[in-house]
Chain A
Amino acid sequence: LAKTTQPISMDSYEGQEVNITCSHNNIATNDYITWYQQFPSQGPRFIIQGYKTKVTNEVASLFIPADRKSSTLSLPRVSLSDTAVYYCLVVRTGGSYIPTFGRGTSLIVHP
C-alpha cells in the first residue's frame, strides 16, 4: 500500500486558510485518499475522501492533481477549534485492506 508523507506540524492564525499536503507517490489505480481529524483524548473523525480533482464538503476541500501522487487538504478560515492532528490515508478498496495511520500533521491555530 502507498506510504504517505505529511508535515509533522503546522501553525496558523484564526481566519486564515490552511493547506496540508500529503505525498503518496506509489498510489495505485483503485486507491482513494482519505483524511481524518483527531482532537486530544478522542478517536479520529472522518473529514473527507476523494479519488481525483476536487472534493468539497461543509468542513474542508480536497485537491488531488491528475497524477494523484499528492493531495492537499484545505481548511478555510480556521478557528481555534480546528487545532487537531490531521491524518492522510491511502485507502485500498475492498479486499483485506488494513487502515494504517502515520503520525499525522499537528495543526495549532493561534488567536
Chain B
Amino acid sequence: EADIYQTPRYLVIGTGKKITLECSQTMGHDKMYWYQQDPGMELHLIHYSYGVNSTEKGDLSSESTVSRIRTEHFPLTLESARPSHTSQYLCASTAAGTGKEKLFFGSGTQLSVL
C-alpha cells in the first residue's frame, strides 16, 4: 500500500488566514505533484517537483506556493486564503526513471474558506 500522507484531512478557516497543507511520502520518490479538484470535476495540476530544490507551476494558475527542501516533504502554502480556494487538494508522488509513471495519491485535504 502507498505510503503518502496528507494533513489535515479537513480544514475550515476564515478568509485572510495563512495555511500550509502537508504532504509526506516514505517511498523515496523524486517526483511529487499537487492537484486541485472540485466536486465532479477533473484534477488540475497546480504544482510539481522533480526533486529537492525543484518546483514548477502547473497548468492551473494558483496563488499557492510550494517548497521541496527534503525528498519526502512537499508542503503547499496559501499566504492569504479566500473563499475561491475552497476545494480538495490532492498530493501524489512517483519514482523517477521507472518508465511507467505509476502515481500514488494521498487521501487529500478538503479545504473550506469562509
Chain B, interface size: which category?
20 to 34
Which chain A residues (85-111) contact chain B, with CB distance < 8 Å?
91-94, 97-104, 106
Instruction: Sample 22 A-B pairs with CB under 8 A, ordered by A number.
Output: A32-B101, A34-B102, A41-B88, A41-B108, A41-B110, A42-B107, A43-B90, A43-B105, A43-B106, A43-B108, A44-B43, A44-B105, A45-B105, A46-B103, A92-B101, A93-B101, A98-B45, A98-B58, A99-B92, A99-B101, A100-B59, A102-B42
Name the distance in Å between A49's Cβ and chain B's nearest Cβ: 6
Q: Which residues of A contact B94 (CB under 8 A)?
A: 99
Evaluate contact between A42 and B108: CB separation under 8 angstroms. yes
Known: A43-B92, A44-B105. A101 touches B100 (CB 8 A): no
A-B contact count (CB 8 A): 57
Residues of chain B within 8 A of A34, CB atoms compared: 100-102
Chain A residues with a Cβ closer than 8 Å to the other chain, count: 23
Contact in complex: A44, B103 (CB < 8 Å) = yes
Contact A100 B103 (CB under 8 A): no
Cα of A100 to Cα of B43 in the assembled complex, Å: 8
